[in-house]
Structure 1
Amino acid sequence: MTTIFKTPYELKDKVGQVLGESQWLTIDQDRINLFAEATGDHQWIHVDPARAKEGPFGACIAHGYLTLSLVNLFLPEIMDVQGISMGVNYGTDKIRFPNSVIVGSKVRGVGELIKVEEVKGGLQSTVRVTVEIENEARPACVVDTISRYYPRVY
């Protein structure tokens, strides 16, 4: 379920709280191949199922940066900040890839609001998104995302 903030100022009341999770998403070979095409990263552990079957993971794995990029898909399912004229992806901190995503796995994002601060004209939030792998103890990715929200002026 999406946590809705009617204004960006409501973010301040949720610091330190888990905001929710996205839907599960199956990582299939087509998605991995498309990411390889988009980035030029055609390493065999990602795109060669026959060779990857004999490799260290027993199958193809998703690129770490593919897993990271899914955070952009998961965030709107986790939280919705309303009453803004503009929201901006400002960057990230502390990106880690503790586990590999094997083709066919399901992943989802879980968001925790860890910091909110005022910036010129708006608010900046830091949300820690943990990309979980279904039935795995260790997550695929943990990243602190930084967003800026500029309130709508009426």
Structure 2
Amino acid sequence: MTTIFASADELLAATGRDLGVTDWIEIGQDRVNLFADATGDHQWIHVDPERAREGPFGGCIAHGYLTLALVNLFLPQLIRVDNLSMGVNVGCDRVRFPAPVKVGARIRGRGEITRVERIGENTPNPSVQSTVRVSIDIEGSERPGCVVDTISRYTFNPVSE
């Protein structure tokens, strides 16, 4: 279930909040192949099922950066911020890939708000910047496929008095 924030104060009070988990999705070979085509990374561990069966993972694995890119699919399922004039992605910190995501595996996002702060307090449109740690769970694995701290900046609509 998506956690919804309607104001800067609500978001500022949410440091440490668990955002829960998303629905599972299956990582199919077609998705991996499309990512390989988009990025030019056609390494055999991703796109050659026959050769990959004999490789270190026993089959094809998703690109780490594909797993990271799917955070963009999961993040809106974890958090929604309303009443905005603008919201932007600022970047990512501490990207890690603790476990490979095998083709055919099911993954989901898990979120936690780790930091929230005011930005530009003395400007006409102050913003709130939040850091959400997203872990990509792999069904049946103790280790996640990816852990990343995503940073987003939100500028709220003025509050009418």
TM-superposition CA deviations, 1:51-110 (whole Å, max 9, x none)? 001100011000000000000100000011001111100000000000000000000010
Aligned to 2:58: 58
Aligned to 2:151: 146
Structure 1 residues 23-34: aligned runs within 5 Å? 23-34=23-34
> CA shift at 1:21, angstroms?
1.2
1:16–1:115 Cα contact (<8 Å) kept = yes
1:8–1:84 Cα contact (<8 Å) kept = no
Aligned to 1:89: 89
- Give, in whole Å, the separation in 2 of the partners of 1:35 and 1:99: 19
- Give, in whole Å, the separation in 2 of the partners of 1:101 and 1:38: 19
What secondary structure sits across from 1:62 in the alignment?
A: coil
- Give aligned-pair identity as a percent: 60
- Give, in whole Å, the separation in 1 of the partners of 2:102 and 2:24: 15
- Give, in whole Å, the separation in 2 of the partners of 1:50 and 1:7: 52
2:40 partner amino acid: G
Aligned to 2:131: 126
- Give, in whole Å, the separation in 1 of the partners of 2:87 and 2:30: 31
> CA shift at 1:8, angstroms?
3.3
Where in structure 2 are there 5+ consecutive unaligned residues? 121-125
Q: Let me know the Cα RMSD of the aligned residues.
A: 0.9
1:22 aligns with 2:27: no
What secondary structure sits across from 1:14 in the alignment?
A: coil
- Give, in whole Å, the separation in 1 of the partners of 2:26 and 2:8: 32
Stretch deviating more after TM superposition (13-22 or 103-112): 13-22
Stretch deviating more after TM superposition (60-69 or 115-124): 115-124
Q: Which runs of 4+ in 1 moved over 2 A?
A: none
1:74 aligns with 2:70: no
TM-score (norm 2): 0.93
Aligned to 1:136: 141
- Give, in whole Å, the separation in 1 of the partners of 2:30 and 2:90: 30
Where in structure 1 are there 5+ consecutive unaligned residues? none
1:20–1:112 Cα contact (<8 Å) kept = yes
Aligned length: 154
- Give, in whole Å, the separation in 1 of the partners of 2:9 and 2:36: 39
